[in-house]
Structure 1
Amino acid sequence: MVQGKYAGQEEERVYRLQVHSRVKPQSLALGGKALKEYATLADFEKGGAGWFYDAQSKYGTVHAKSEKTSVRAAYRFDLAIASDAVLAQTPAFGAAPDLGNAVAADSILVLNRPAEEPGHKLENAFDDKPDTWFRTIRDQSQKTGAHEFTLALGERRMINGFEISPRNDKHWQSGQVRDFEIYLGDRNGEWGQPVYTGRLKLVEGKQKVEFPAKAGSLFRFRVLSTQEQGQDENTNDPMVTATNGNGKQAKAFNAFLPPQVNPITISEFRVLEAPAPNRAKQQLALSEAKPDLSRNLSKPRLLQMNGLKFSKGLPVAAQSQVDYRLSGDWQLFRADVGIDDSCRQAGGLQFQVHGDGKLLFDSGLIAAPAVVKPELDIRGVSLLSLRTLGAHGKDAAKVCANWANATVIGFEGDKAGK
């Protein structure tokens, strides 16, 4: 219904309506008056007010129109459909594609890359196109040691393997990886020891390597040797002819030169993510678990911070440590940490969370009434350690603190503590 006027406004118009219906209506009315049913869409288009049901269009489409009608009034179309009418059948949805457990290529960002041959960039290994290859530079004068690349995975993931394919032509043996190392981490450059080391076979097709799942948001792959080097470990030292007492050729070594690793070629590379357990979720308050180690854990008391009372948690003194051994697939640690109201004038301290000896969280100095809410990814952690330290203030020895609502979240069957 139109209100108001403007120059050139038409006072009457034809109203048209399309309704998707998998059932043909018994009748159609406009403003309580039955409309004519047309036999074909062509007749409907040529004729006046009426309707037509097209069963072939989008599993059923009702076309309806009015005569020229005043734009100043409201109108209503009514469709009558039998309650026992049978709906037209539509195709069933196909099964969802099986994407496997590979990290999606659009989630991967290359952080570090080896020297690439022009036209054969590292991203070619992740484009799902076997005919495009990643290849390192083939200039034998460039001796840079192990080939390696680092990938950002988009988020922290539990990684349990990778898939790798060689070039897919008649020279498939060339440039195949032999010895390798895998590192996982969350800060580029802070790697520690490799999570897995291995040796690939010389095969024409794809190889899949799996290892115990480890958590990380960064994936580092180091190539230590190629299959050509494995077949003849002295192929890169043709001038060395000396032998040892067993008749084996002696190896040349210079600590100031990087070891030579032949060029590599990879047509496809996928990082594999461990699927989440198919078990019901569980949430465990650590105050209900028996710690494996506890130092300066206070006697049970009412926990209160900034006027808020907490029914569950761990009351602690300064310089405390509470450790829990974790088994299973724990995912998250959560808590509300701060100074208890009963000693808020004494001073403040720091809260720390360690996982397997590695610092995961440090609150910095906290004093009342501040309350901090850490939420930490503890996937893959086997020893969770909650600590307080650095007491500071008017009466540092009497500072008391709370790990209120200290909770781990995982799956049924996961265990924490003794």
Structure 2
Amino acid sequence: MRLRRLSSTVLGAALIAALIPGSATAAAPQAWSVAGPGAAVTARLALDDTGHLSFGVDLRGSPVLAPAPIGITTTDADLSAGLSFVSRADRTVRERYTKTTGKQLRRDVTLTESTFSFTGTRGAHLDVVVRVSAEGAAYRYVLPSGGTVTGETSSFTLPVAAPAWVLPYNSNYENARVQTTAGAAATGDYGFPLLAQVGADYVLLSESDVDGRYDGARLSHVAGESAYRIRLDDAQITATGRLATPWRTAAVGDLATVTGSMLTDDLAPPSKLTDTSWVRPGMVAWSWLSEHSSPSDPARQRQYIDFAARNGWPYVLIDEGWNAEWVPSVVRYARARGVDVLLWFHWTSLDTVQERDRMLPLLKSWGVAGVKVDFMDSDSQARFRWYDDILAATAAQHLMINFHGATIPRGLQRTWPHVMTLEAIRGAEQFRTRAAQNTIFPFTRNVVGGMDYTPVTWAVTDRDTTDAHEVALALVYESGWQHLADRPETYEAHPEALRTLSQLPTVWDESKLLSGAPGQETVFARRHDDRWYVGGISAVAAKTYSTELDFLGNGRFLAETLRDGDDGLVRESRIVRRTDTLSVPERANGGFVTVLCAYTGSATCDRPVRRVPATTLTVDPASADVRPGGTVTVAATFTLPAGGPITGVTLAPAPPAGWTVSGATVRDSSMRGGDSLRGSWRLTAPADLATGFTDLPVAAEFTFTGDPGSPDTPGKRPVHVEQAVRVLVPPANPAGTAAVSDLPFLTESNGYGPVERDQSNGEADSGDGRPLTLRGTAYAKGLGMHSPGEVTIWLGGACTAFSALVGIDDEVTQSGSADFQVLGDGRALAASGVRRSADPAATLAADVTGVQILTLRATDGGDGKNFDHADWADAKVSCAG
């Protein structure tokens, strides 16, 4: 730690001026330095004779960030000028922590910290806290009394000729990155992180520790200038009590240092979770990119689940289009095969306390392992407060989370270890892949945290990358959940690619950049447990890539390489030592993956793929009607048809909260092929049981001999096999002529937003629709759906007729279409045929005599669901009484 000491006369004058309110006495210029461990990185803070602060960073005695103005303004004070120095306090900060995701799971770093205290006009107080590590420097402001922030004068200065890789800002960070110079970048806003080359060194600008107390910033630049100024998302930021702003960060050094930097994590708050045993990274099969309609097809999702199970992938993500009616059964199907299900949500479906309190426990009861939340598209303080809320709520339910349409990570994955990845990248779903862009991402966006690029897809035909380049993305790009984005059939048509993907971990004990430059190529060596993985992607002409293997330990290693060959992907093997060189032929825009494992005489590094033994579980009865306080007796039989043994078998009901169970858990220490385990229990419903459908699950759990685990989580973990009795708690029968919109829904699903009562579909939240309007006539009663939509309603055999006027609501701006269908106890009773926006309202009537459950369904008309605002105007039933 080095301090340029002031004379006692100068320091005394500065202190006296600070203590006299309204004093116009200007202090002499002052400057301080804060050196990081090893003294390679030094932060420099200065106060000029007008009370303006500046901040810069030196590397090995030379500036990489020239001094640039800093400061903050509030509604009460301008703390960017007229400042007077009061005091300095120094300390050493040691950060030791373990993460669940990332390029380095265990971290032990030392930072030097100095807090500089200043006073401004009318005695306003400001602290500037500076931290420096061996790989960068950062600063933040502290307002001891809080206040309302109106802006920052914070900035960074880069040489105008410095090569720079910048991201024109938008709120989801999905624009293409631009290679330019710091000065030549066009006038406008730029997103973090920003990479620039200063001489032989590099600097990566970003921020850390952003949550609902502040907002997300960006950089504002004027063409031709050297300054990049901090611009906040909000015009005002409110704080109650002490406010510590986010850190403004600069990772500095050579490319290996910058890409290996964990400065944003080091500066983030410690983990808020004490137990992370339920957090599991891994490969994910994801269907939306390669076939957009598949998330609405439970049969197709089962095929993805079977594929994941065959290849040891622990997850399947069901994206937009899933239906609550079939998801629980698909989740049970998946878990019995050792696969967990993740579900997609639009963020507005989880933006209120009530929605989260209702939906998240329900997901947990279904057995869902995590959620993908999409379309936040904002860096505002309000949105970061929502991030705070949903992170706490998902953690409480042990649900992992992936943020799409999101901001960049700013240390979030350290503070909330159940965050598996974030998008904030121009990924494969843009359907245009360029090798030059791909080789920029590892040096920019991916440095600061998990990046959900959704790689390895042949479905993207507009690409200039080779097959090996595509496979290598799953290793070169770090993401706790790696969503592999093509069809099962496509991967199976590329068996060497599939074989490699099924062996790759998604988290790393350590990572090293071996070579590369943004826009040209990237080669990483990553270690997981006792083996190394080397992956490279290229945006240059064909060549032979060579690297020393001095990062290996002693002994012999089998090096197994996947690369592009003359007729597709090829695999090559050789035995190497740490003194050897790895050489791999690369095609133009190509890539490769090399796995290095201790050589034991085996011809491959492949480990066994986890495949769960097939079992069956039946429950009796399959369905039942129960009244509040009533009982139902459930019997279950769990069978291992063949193979085994399986061990530690348990069989027991797992009913919803409030139900009581009479009967003990059935156990067996070991089962072999042909063995069965049986049990019977009496379940009693709570007295306040709500009407509608309820599942009463019975679950078997077991482990199995020789379970290899997955690449990320080796070893045994229980397999969960579940079936459920479908219980109906019927409401009172309708009486007289009843409007359908006044009756309770047993079940509901909709294309966008909820099914609305007495208004059209607003596509987002309950109550956001307009009057139901068909060909200029408004209707006071009815249902507003968006195809594919469906409700079920209890009639109890008490009604004789249903009728409605159906059609596409006038509010849509382009032609929609829907087929309106009426079903009674699962039988088709009536249908409108496809109705389009130009068609007049059609009368739809059905005889519902004896029907217990009425289903009203609107399909998409066969041309997709856009603009399908399907109105059931004046829908009613005629009943006894």
TM-score, normalised relative to structure 1: 0.30
- Larger helix percent: 2
**Whose Rg is larger?**
1
TM-score, normalised relative to structure 2: 0.15
Larger relative contact order, structure 1 or 2 (CA cutoff 8 Å, min sep 6): 1
